[in-house]
Structure 1
Amino acid sequence: MPDKIIGLANADPDELSDITRAVLALRAQVVDAWKMTVRTELDKAYELGPPILENTIPSFHDSLALLLTPEFHQRGAVDIAVVAAEHGGERARLTHYDTTTLIHELQIFRRVLFQTLYGEHVQLTPAQSSAIHAAIDSAIRDSANAFASVQAALREQFAAALVHDLRTPLSNAHLAAELIERASSLPQAQGLARRILQNTARIEAMARELLDNLLFVNGEGLPLRIEQFDMAQLAEQIVQHAATFHGVDIRLNAVSAAGYWCHGSLQRALENLVSNAIKYGDHAAPIQLWVERTEQRVKVSLHNEGKPIPVEEIESLFQMYHRAEETRTQSVGWGVGLPFVRRVAESHGGSVLVSSTAEEGTTFTIDMPLDARPYQGEPRAR
């Protein structure tokens, strides 16, 4: 972006106030001081080349100066919003910044700007200072919003491309395993082929889960295929699968609870909860799974012992692409497991409840109606 945006380029210099011209004259000094300061204070800024680091900052400076001429105040405010959004988007696309770094560098700009004005004896009235501060606060919000939007779009594009690229080799591996199972007369080879088939099917399910999440965050509902089944039987399948493939001690306490739900999505949701318990729970203690029924609702709860989840972190666990802190685990993943669990529950008209203490351990509970058919196709919160 050029160092003079549309609003300033169209402004007649003679129409600008003395204070605007005084601030404009300090542009190079302010920008140079800002670049030196951010390189010193922000590690992620130090690695950037001059053009990328400077980015829209000169235009931002000019737009702030334009605010100090009453006739151009509105134009300056519009330009600041445009520049701030572009700045945040470019930081997301071209740097390794996080939101904290983005906000910090704009806060540094505020500090450097006022230090320079003071050092050069450029005096602003209280109203002018207030206008500059308010504009910078607004720019920080606009820039952070644009940064978050671009990052989310980039993550979704990457995830979609990853899933697309995985499906062809996955399909080939599945087909090859089917041929081996049919052609081989050796029991051991047939057993290995069946294990390959089971695991490729699970990877395919994970890919579908990721695609479902991408649809959901883009405003499309989670597709449900409602059918009648017994939740206790599904829980039994989950327990058997965990014992067979993960070798964990998982204990079931379930009452029969027949209802109308989406079997596939609930199976994947419960498998995600089991996987979560295996990753973060105490491996020396058993995992417990309960199915409880009331007259109109069913509760499916999964409990594990281990380090509790701080109350202030519980909500963030349900945000897309969030991972647990490295201090809790070295496991990595897409960060879509628990968000998927919540979306499955909400798509069935239910909720996910979390209780976690050092004394009682951690319990995730899916609480939902016995009949989810009335909720099929209903809009869900994004």
Structure 2
Amino acid sequence: MNRINKHLEIAKLESELKELKKVLKCIDDLVFKVDKSGTVLDCWTNRAQDLFYDIDYIMNRPIEEMFDKEFRDKIIEVITKTIAQNRSFEISYDSPRPGPGGQSFLMRTKNLDPQEGIVLLMVTNTTLETQLLDRVRENQEKFHQAFHNSSVGMALLDEHMVVIEHNSELLSMLRPSFEGEIRGIGFLDFLLPPQREQVEDQISGIEQGRPGRIREEVILNSDTGTWCSLSISPVLGRGAKVLYYVCHLKDLSPQKANEEKLLAQRSLLESINFDLQVKIRQLETFSQVLSHDLRSPLANNHMLAEQIKDLSGSPEANVLADMLLANNRRFSRRFEQLTGFLESLGQDDYQFKENDLETILQEALGVFGDKKGYAEIRLISDLLQRSVNFPARYLISLFRYAVKKFLVGRSSPVDIRVTSTLQNGSVMIGVHCAGSAKVGESGAQFSRPVDQVRQQELEDMAVDLYIARGQVRSYGGNVRFLDEGPERNSMVINIPLG
């Protein structure tokens, strides 16, 4: 009977051993049975790849023979504390042996037999968990840095739109109405009533399950009434339940200020445009008056002067009539020039646009090619700035006047050097003349009749010069004539880039 009982007991123990082995196979941890000196008495594992040595090498071998001093001292210390205090401990450590990527482990101790000093060491490979935790910490740090160092105001709100966290930029946007801590304050309190109602309506839609994101232009409830671009995004959990709201506020004050400036400029331009239209109509009326009301008196003056000469035989009367005719001709020329200018204002040459300086030069100086009584011109073009945004007709008038002025009294070939450069935001154009003045046998200049003719030609261009110079000055530029000696004269034109 005893023998039978003994066999039954053995069978029961064998069955329990099998069950224990099945249980151990389900455990991913490394389980070591060690004594108080750190000698491995037994080892169970289902992950032999996590062992640093073969099981046969580990069995009955002290820890101090397998690891360096720092690591084995740490293990011996925790074994000793487990036995002495009869309680469990746990430590985290990185793999004591170098390997690709490195591994992390968590060791828990269990006092198996306090009398004999036997301890179980249960080691779990936590490499994956550690990597995930490091990644989470890294992402949290990135979010923290982006959140608190953002150039826009940011706030994290709970499901009731109450501020949980915020950055310093948001606080600066709310000053001085809100000072100090704003956590725990409802975010909608920061908005003015009209915008608050709009945002509340959209928040209600999100809470009722309508997906979306809120984008609005709002005015913060601060003393300055700061215009902001508001963006609120919900963070949803299970069942599309709102967990948090992430809020962005961008200060639109500079943009609004620019919009106000643009509106003011537009209003000013409209006013200027209206004034220009009025002036254009006035010029049109003036042109009509010149063309119709003054032309007839001029013609009548001419006929009257001729009749005076015919009816009066005295020399004095003839002289006065000749003077009247001369003044009438001069006035007629001015009249024709002025009416011609007014009638030409709509032509392309009078429009503000980018014009090629070389083309302007050729047209301006081409009239002197067959002009008798003028010196031979040698044009030297030195144009570093090739174009200018200015009506071509005024530049042509200035060039022609300058050259005609410089050539009077000269017969030998002269050099006309034209330069253009870009200086301090302006186009600098220079017309420079160098050449000897014609001298007769007695040392005098040209005979008086020739000088009078040439001087008369310059006077005939006075209207063109006056108009062209006035246009340059009204554009913010200047025209100067420089006398640098009897053999060198210059004209300098300064035109802003615009």
TM-score range, shorter chain: 0.3 to 0.5
Which one has a bigger Cα radius of gyration? 2
Q: TM-score, normalised by structure 2?
A: 0.25
Structure (1 or 2) with the greater helix fraction:
1
Structure (1 or 2) with the greater strand fraction:
2
Higher normalized contact order (CA 8 Å, seq sep 6+, divided by chain length): 1
